[in-house]
Each structure stands twice: as C-alpha cells, then as structure tokens.
Structure 1
Amino acid sequence: MSEIKKIGVFTSGGDAPGMNACIRAVVRTAIFKNIEVVGIRQGYQGMLECNFWDMTARDVGNIIHIGGTILKTARCLEFKTAEGTKKAYENLKAHGIDALVAIGGDGTANGADRLSRTFDIPVMCIPGTIDNDLNGSDFTLGFDTATNTVIEAIDKIRDTAASHDRLFFIEVMGRDSGCIALHAGIAGGAEAVLLPERETAIDELIEKLSSQAKNKKTSSIVIVAEGDKNGGAYHVAARVKEKFDFYDSKVTILGHLQRGGSPSSFDRILASRLGFAAVKALLNGRTRQMVGLRGNAIVLTPLEEALNISHFKLEDDLLEMINVLSI
C-alpha cells in the first residue's frame, strides 16, 4: 500500500443513529493527521456517479446530535457487478482517493471487502446498523438508540394495555436478528418475545399467556421481531385470537421510527471512538478489517470473520432470563 493522502468516507445500507457522529470523527481525525477527506454521497451509488464532497472540519460541525446521515445512503445493484466495481474504483482513483472508511451493515462491508480485494485499495469498516448482528463488536452504531426508542414505545403502550386489560403485540425491526426484540423485551418487561433465531410455536405462546392469566395478569405485552418464523405481529395476533380470547388483543407496528431520532450518548461516544480508530488503523497500514468494541476496548476484526453470521448468536443468559422474569 502506498502512503495514504486522501480518505473517502461513506454511509451505505440502512441509516442508523450515530452515523453523523461517526462521519464527524473520521473527518476531524483525518484532518488533524493532515489527511484530506472526501465525503461520498449516497454510498456505492455515489462512487459510480462521482458524487464527491471535499470536506473540511467545519462541514461536520453541529451534526453529532442529528440522526440519519448527512452523506445520504442508497442501495446500488450496479456496484455488485464486476463492471460496476471497476467503475467505482476508477472514479475513486481519478479523484485521488486512496483509502476508504465504510459505515454500514453487512452489505456495506461485503462491498468494501470485494472492492479492496479486487483493486488493493485499503478499507476500514465501521458497523453502522440497528440490528447489532455483526461479529467483532458487542454493539453496532444505532442499536442502543433504536432499543431505547422501542422501550419508550413499550412503556407508553403498557399504560393503555393495563388500563383496558389488553394484550398488545408489538412488532419491532429484526428480519434476521432478534437483538432489538430481546433487549427491548427484557428492559420493557414483556411477557413474551418472538425471535428469528428461536422458533416459538403458537401453541407454546398461548400456553404461556394462559398460565400468566391464571396468575392474575390482566394485561400482557408480546414483542415480535419482524423476522419471526410465525410471520409478522398481525399474523401472530390473529392465530392467538383464534384459540385464546381471554384478552382484547391489539397490534402495533413500530416500523421505521426505530431508525430515526437523535442518537443516545452511548451511540455518540461509540461512533466517535470507532471513527477515530478507523482512521488511525488505516494510517498504520491496516486494511479489510472492522473496527468494533469488545468489553470497553476497541478491537480490529478481519472482515471475513466479522461477516460470518454463523458465529453470531444471542446471549444465552438473556434468552433464559426473558422466560424467568415474565412469570
């Protein structure tokens, strides 16, 4: 790898609270190290369209508290082709960009890995996804904020559930990962949580709700991750109502409000640490790695390991706890 003089930074895939704080850290750390920074708008699509922004330290002022991403984000099918990857690299090279910081989820990291291996451009990835489903980091950017958003919704819904003796099914994001559902379920005191990683039969759920009703529970909250094998919250609620009519049942889909909003203090600090570390790692000659947090230490994980979903699993103690504490 030649000496790095100009770093490109971009966000890709789904937005996550904390991305702006991370962009700020990347830009200001690079400039402090006398490295130029180019913001690439709309992710890989922006690479193909030369949507570049020569950034200064002032360009990232007053954004640490803002949700979403000032660099925008987009899905780009063309980049996945060999021709598209080559075009992106040629555009980067023409603009003098000789290293990249990619902020996003597994799709973002896969694209950065392919680009780097094909054209030997240094890349460092930062896990920015509310799903919290990448190896190499205990927490991903946006997960804490999204979970807090869900907990606030659960608290408000529980007020009306208790007032009317109702059963509420609350659907949260998590097509392949049940992290938000599990953590929010525990923190929100849910009576049951349905996860993509652990199939729960409808009869098993009904039995649990019946047992709780016999123990004089007059209202209940069931959290349903959108990727649960039984289908979405409406489908689960309908099947439960067919066999169990003790409660008046209602459904709430939280949807994309989980992605928005001002990032929590945890996500702001995490974003700053990861952005700072990513630039330092590139300047120290590291490439094709993900910057993450393990315990309270910043660690680097090879991308092939970070992207190995078979190594990712939910915490066993939390899975046990959700059943114990909901009796």
Structure 2
Amino acid sequence: MDHHVHGALKDDVSQSVFETLITESDRAIPAWMSQFDSQVGFAIRRWCAPVLGLPRHAAAAEYMKARASLGTDEVNRRLLSGAGVGHFLVETGYRGDEILNPEQMGQSAGQRASEVVRLEAVAESIVESGVTAKSFPERYVQALANATTHAVGVKSIIAYRWGFDFEPARPAKVAVIEAARNWLEAFANGGPLKVEDPVLLRFFLWAGVDRGLPIQLHTGYGDPDLRLDRCNPLLLTPWIKLIEPASVDIMLLHCYPYHREAGYLAQVFPHVYFDVGLGVNYTGVQSEQILAESLELTPFSKLLFSSDAWGPAELHYLGSALWRQGMTNVLQRWVDAGDWSEDDAIRVVNMIATENATRVYKLAGGRS
C-alpha cells in the first residue's frame, strides 16, 4: 500500500520536460548536464527500462525513444501495474490537471485508489469561489468536511509555506478572520492565491485535527520553495504534544535527511508515524542505507511505505522496486547474521508494506 502518492502524468512529454520531473529543483536544467546522470536517472535506466522492453541500463535517449513509442497510457499501465501496489492513497492538491485522479490511477494500475485531501487546496478553492473574511472560518470547516467525505486522510504543506517553527496553539477566531481579510484583500489586488500566512496555516492544521482523519505532513527534503532547516520534524514537538489528547495520527512524510529524528518522534509519541518515501527514489542505489537507518529507533508498527511519486510513472515504479530491493538486502543481512529470524523479517515487511497503513487509515472497514 502506497500511503502517500500523487497521480501519474496524463500526457506525453519530451525528454527535456521529463528531466525536469525527475528532480526536486524548480530551476532550469543547465545545457551542459542531464538529470539522467543522477541516482534517480540511473535507477530509471536500471529498473524501468526492462518494463518498457529495453535492456537494463539502456541509454537515456534510447529509453525516451521507447517511452514515446509506447505512449503515456501504455507506459502508465506497465509501470503502475508492475509496481505491485495494491492500494494507492492519492494526494490530489498539486497540479491536478496534469496528472491522473485517484479513479484513473486505480484504473491504470488495476488496483484500488483512495483520496487524501490537501488542507491548503481546500482554502484556495473557497477563495476562488468567493468568501468574506468573517465567514471564512466556518466556510473552511464546512468545505473541508465536504471535500473529505470519502477521503482517507488530509495533508498539510505548512513545511513549504512557513516551516515547522510555528506557534503550536490553536489560533483565535478573531486572528483567523483578520488573517483571512489580509489574504483576500491581497488576492483581490492581484496577489497570489497561495496562502502563506502562519495563522491561516495553523488554522488549517487544527481544522484537520478536528476532522479526525490522519494528517500527513511533508517533512524534510523538497524543492527550493521550502527552507530545509525549518522542516526538521523535531520542531513539531510542541504541536505534537498539544494534539495528543485528540488521538489523531500524524504521518511524517519522506523525512530525509531527518529520518532519524522522525524515528525518534515515532518511538516516543504513540500518534506519530513516518516514511522515507521521497528519499528512496532520489537516492537510488544508496536508498538501502536510508531504509536501514529508518529501522533504527522506530517501532516497526510505526513505519509505512510510500513513493511520493508525482508525474512520471517511473517514480511510482521505482518507489516500490527500490524499497523492495533495499529491504530485502538489509533484512537478509540480519537474517544471515542470525540477528533476526526469517519469519520475523517477513512479518516486519508485511507490517510496513501494508498492515500499518491499513490500521491507521482504517481501510479494513472499507473506506475508499
């Protein structure tokens, strides 16, 4: 079960565009370099090329030629179904018009797919449809309830918009209204729709707590729109403590290079879980080390699998392939050394791959 993922591309793309989609950088790629000359690029040529009918390590130009010949629909079908993921939990808040929605993801993969709703996207949708500052708090809560009727969780990108060094307490309603007024006035005067006010971002988080669904939080590594030093999950500790009585589970996503810190939080707080999804794809063959480090402190019932793939279906496939290979290599060493039994290794793999997410998102009850 891929507990945090985005849709695969809808349309064909050129090699130049494809290369911009296999990096977290949002800057233009210099003419003298290729993103294929990176861990993720080498991993695509190693793992995905055979799925498209090519030999392992096929040249990048040959790979892209085969990709174009097959077409995006067939590439998606092969890679999504080949990933061996039985259930995708799809977060739909980022550039949704360019990617498959949850239903289309399920159809392409031949598997189940459920939706995770981005908290900030709900706010932006009601601003676009028209709202007053005074009515904003109530409108947001209602819009969130409507948007999550069939969702299995919510997600916040406060790490991108502000960072984790925010005031943890629930903001007062008057402060939310004032922040909404400033945002609405700025938007009416040509300002960005993107919400960056820390009061509003905290309000969304607390509304998510009130909704009661698991809350996913982007943590650590990402594009230059964030400040990585302000995305250390340890900065969330005061807020994590405040919401503990609400019994709402917090899902720390990706976490690299703070996966050890995330493992500590998952160990000491019953309602904190984490994954190393994005870090696995982008570290390629070195992801085995990250997977081993993710197993250091955390109880194995608190660790989940995700790919965080967005766009090229290669990233959906790689998230699974690299995780399987890395976990196999790490656990086999421990079994061979006599430190773990084979039965325990298999049991832990099943927990991380499927069982933990099934429990946390209450999927055994049929929510989808």
- Per the TM superposition, whether the score is higher than 0.5 is no
Structure with greater proportional strand content:
1
Greater CA radius of gyration, 1 or 2?
A: 1
Report which structure shows greater RCO (CA 8 Å, sep ≥6).
1
- Structure having the higher helix fraction is 2
